Each structure stands twice: as structure tokens, then as C-alpha cells.
């Protein structure tokens, strides 16, 4: 996240490709599923690390909180 001055700028960048309301709804539903309590912090962290994401999270709880903030912006 060093390329951005604020977390808000990061979230804006992440959401910028999702212009269509249907896509945004799907993303919100996906993030709802990922951030539910039945997905452990460890499972969430492993899923994140298996992706091609450029942002690094070492802590699953921190990642969950970030994804919830992204979801809330939808």
C-alpha cells in the first residue's frame, strides 16, 4: 500500500473497475461470504496469499477488517 497516501485511496483503486451495479452487488456478496465468522482468519489469509494480490496481509483479522471496509464502500 506504499503507493497510496491513504487506505481510502487504496479502496477507491480496488473498486474503480467495478462500475456496473450488478458487478458491485456480486462483489459485495462475495465479500460478505469471505468475511463471515465461519471463515477462519487463517483460511482467509491462505486464500489471500493464493491470489495474485499486490497488497500483503500477514494477519487474517487485519485482512478481514480491511475487506469489510471495502465491502462497506460498495
Quick: pLDDT tens for 49-66.
999 888 889 999 999 999
Considering the domain boundaries, does residue 41 fall inside one? yes
Instruction: Tell me what percent of the residues of the chain surpass a pLDDT of 90.
Output: 82
* pTM score, whole prediction: 0.86
* Enclosing domain of residue 13: 7-73
Low-confidence residues in the chain, pLDDT < 70: 1-2
Query: What's the CA gap between 14 and 24, in Å, rounded?
Result: 12
Considering the domain boundaries, does residue 1 fall inside one? no
User: 21 with 74: CB under 8 angstroms?
Assistant: no
Considering the domain boundaries, does residue 2 fall inside one? no
Considering the domain boundaries, does residue 53 fall inside one? yes
Count the domains in the chain. 1
What cell numbers appear for 40 in the block? 477462519
User: 56 with 23: CB under 8 angstroms?
Assistant: no
Considering the domain boundaries, does residue 29 fall inside one? yes
Considering the domain boundaries, does residue 20 fall inside one? yes
Amino acid at each position: 500500500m506504499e503507493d497510496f497516501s491513504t487506505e481510502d485511496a487504496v479502496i477507491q483503486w480496488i473498486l474503480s473497475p467495478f462500475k456496473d451495479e450488478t458487478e458491485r452487488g456480486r462483489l459485495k456478496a462475495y465479500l460478505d461470504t469471505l468475511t463471515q465468522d465461519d471463515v477462519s482468519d487463517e483460511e482467509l489469509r491462505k486464500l489471500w496469499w493464493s491470489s495474485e494480490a499486490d497488497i500483503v496481509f500477514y494477519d487474517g483479522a487485519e485482512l478481514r477488517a480491511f475487506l469489510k471496509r471495502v465491502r462497506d464502500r460498495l
